[in-house]
Structure 1
């Protein structure tokens, strides 16, 4: 007996800050991630970032007077247990580890949370939104989609966009790259809410440093045109599969280096433009 055909809704192709950044960095990397959807092995640092994000989301669900460092540390192990169930690919992270490695890793997550409390006191406010999915269709039809770690709204209406980072703070030369993601979120929130965010705040927990930026309307309008140009370039490459590699210093960290022509590799046959759903993955959101 033939099995019934189940119709699944097809989400429209969208552009996320992570996938836009991939294409800017290396069009072939974009293809591997968004079109071929090749698997990548998560690192312990990436998964630790996921756990820390989960703890901070849980923390703001508590009453204000319970948002203290001791509570945050106590939330780490339950958050890791939950993430491990929700994301089976994370379960093998410590299968072959030496005794004590997982405990040290959890302790390092607690250290990052201590870094968070060194930057702000979460008892002093309630966020407007946490882990907020934002989507907006540009006039050209390009759908922008991403997840914002936190949105704060002042009593006077000013908006602050906050993103937690568990890696090192960027040097000055790399600040523009770090702010690309935040301008993406600021643009979408401006178009959705009609208010240009007053502040974009990247919180680097390991270094206990902030990168704060105040965008303006003209700048976000120009950024909108940049995203249009990126999407146009993606669609041109999609017609023929001509996603070219762009070798650079980050190639040593790429999971797909063995498939890259720049390193004598051969990519898999181009599957054609599958109308990918370019949403950010959970690891994209914990850089």
Structure 2
């Protein structure tokens, strides 16, 4: 019978399939949730603050003081809708929440070291684009799209983790090249540059999405899509053991880690029960 083929492909899905076929199946096809961590919460808050600052605030008014005020706004809104309480759970102390708040401020302020927000002409934030490639749909959400003085475009992607090594850097550049490809196909304009902003290190990595790069990306993406379809048909998503396995939340389901796929239903049930428990508390 086979497994259901995903409805679309994104940069993160491409990366996930390349890293581990089994983890791709569990997250994308089986839709098994992964626990939210303090790091992902901090990243979500930081992205929300920067989106608001660049979309709602005039360039001349983008100051550190304004940025801190936006952090407070986003934080308070999260408290009102109870999203922080549900995610953090009752087991976290007020000191832990205070530390998360201060860490979010610190990350946002690092953007002022990496670039000058008053000189950025952001024409879109959290821009959702979609197009077709062969028999699949490409989708992506661009953190920020900038219009440069010469009329060209720059795709900006924020990263809240640490600066990667060369191999990881190339992989993450592939993600912003993916967004450049979407711009070319949907907007009819290829961005002049793409940049990764590593907030923790206040570092910008800038690259040029050449025709060769984007045509190569198209070919690789089509090949990966065909591999995904074949794996769905054969129900054959194999684990790829690596040093990253120790960070994987699917270990109890992975045969390479002594787990079993027969536990998928139990895994889902446990997550639903834990989520309800947090909401009730």
Specify if TM > 0.5. Answer: yes
- Pairing of 1:115-134 with structure 2 (within 5 A): 115-134=110-129
- Residue 14 of structure 1 aligns to a residue whose secondary structure is coil
Is 1:162 matched with 2:162? no
Give the one of 59, 71, 76 matched to 1:64.
59
**Number of positions where the alignment pairs a residue of Structure 1 with one of Structure 2:** 259
Give the one of 34, 40, 47 matched to 1:40.
34
Question: What is the match of residue 273 of structure 2?
Answer: none
Give the one of 230, 248, 251 matched to 2:245.
251
Question: What is the match of residue 136 of structure 1?
Answer: 131
Relative contact order: is structure 1 or structure 2 higher (C-alpha 8 Å, sep ≥ 6)?
1
Deviation at 1:268, TM superposition (A): 4.0
Question: What is the match of residue 208 of structure 1?
Answer: 202
Unaligned runs of 5+ in 2: 1-5, 266-281
> 2: CA distance between counterparts of 1:70 and 1:145?
35
> 1: CA distance between counterparts of 2:51 and 2:188?
26
Give the one of 183, 190, 199 matched to 2:177.
183
Deviation at 1:219, TM superposition (A): 1.6
Deviation at 1:89, TM superposition (A): 7.8
Deviation at 1:154, TM superposition (A): 2.1
CA separation of 1:170 and 1:245: change in aligned 2, threshold 3 A: same
> 2: CA distance between counterparts of 1:186 and 1:216?
10
Question: What is the match of residue 90 of structure 2?
Answer: 95
Give the one of 165, 170, 173 matched to 2:167.
173
The TM-score with structure 1 as length reference comes to: 0.85
Unaligned runs of 5+ in 1: 1-11, 272-287
Greater share of helix: 2
> 1: CA distance between counterparts of 2:181 and 2:81?
31
CA separation of 1:96 and 1:20: change in aligned 2, threshold 3 A: same
Over the aligned positions, Cα root-mean-square deviation in angstroms equals: 2.0
Deviation at 1:269, TM superposition (A): 7.9
Task: Report if the CA contact (8 A) 1:27-1:243 is conserved.
Answer: yes
Deviation at 1:85, TM superposition (A): 6.1
The TM-score with structure 2 as length reference comes to: 0.86
Task: Report if the CA contact (8 A) 1:42-1:90 is conserved.
Answer: no
Question: What is the match of residue 223 of structure 1?
Answer: 217
CA separation of 1:85 and 1:42: change in aligned 2, threshold 3 A: farther
CA separation of 1:62 and 1:14: change in aligned 2, threshold 3 A: same
Which whole-Å deviations, capped at 9, do the CAs of 1:218-271 have from their partners, x for residues lacking one?
220111000000000000000121111001111111111111010111114899
